Amino acid sequence: MMAKTKTSETEQVAEAEPQEPVAEAAETPLEMPEAHGAEFARLDAPAHAEGQASLDLIMDLELRLTAELGRAELMIRDVLQLGPGSIIELDKTVGEPVDILVNNRLIARGEVVVIDESFGVRITEIVTPMERAQSIPGQEMKR
């Protein structure tokens, strides 16, 4: 669609797209908000809200949690001979803490409990970050 627009001294022809109806001007003049300088969070303020938002992104991820009673190394011929009633001797003794692993990483230790005919683990110790960093999947921790 072609529309003519007039400037102070010359006429120009310009292409224009269909325009929406113009709203009527307000009775009172618009007030511009006062200009303010940039506002920044204090450096010594805790970043709790931002950190919480970041943590919310991963809250629904599933992780594999394993309570490890102990380990044993067997030869293939011994594994093939296992059957109902076989006993496997583990490397831990009665009363020794159970390792709690998340995605095959040691995070805690605990003790076995029975709750309504189900087994559970009561956490008794959270491992230190150093122990956590040293835990390698498939190898035992040196104590």
Please report, for the domain that includes residue 100, its CATH number.
Answer: 2.30.330.10
Q: Is the pLDDT of residue 119 over 80?
A: yes
Mean pLDDT rounded to a whole number for the chain:
76
Single-letter code of the amino acid located at 99: D
Measured between alpha carbons, how far is 108 from 142 in angstroms, rounded to an integer? 15
Residue span of the structural domain in which 104 resides: 96-137
**Could you count the other beta carbons within 10 Å of the beta carbon of residue 41?**
10
Q: Which tokens is 130 given?
A: 């150093």
pLDDT at 11: 46
In a domain, 102, yes or no: yes
In a domain, 126, yes or no: yes
In a domain, 117, yes or no: yes
Classified as helix, coil or strand, 83 is coil
In a domain, 75, yes or no: no
CB 85 within 8 A of CB 106: no
**Alpha carbon distance, N-terminus to C-terminus of the chain:** 84
Give pLDDT tens digits for 44-58: 655 555 666 778 888
107 burial (CB, 10 Å; 0-12 / 13-18 / 19+) is: middle
Measured between alpha carbons, how far is 126 from 132 in angstroms, rounded to an integer? 10
In a domain, 71, yes or no: no
pLDDT at 142: 46
In a domain, 127, yes or no: yes
Count of domains for the chain: 1
In a domain, 33, yes or no: no
Mean pLDDT, residues 24-36? 58
In a domain, 16, yes or no: no
Query: Where does the pLDDT of residue 110 fall: very low under 50, low under 70, confident under 90, or very high at 90 and above?
Result: very high
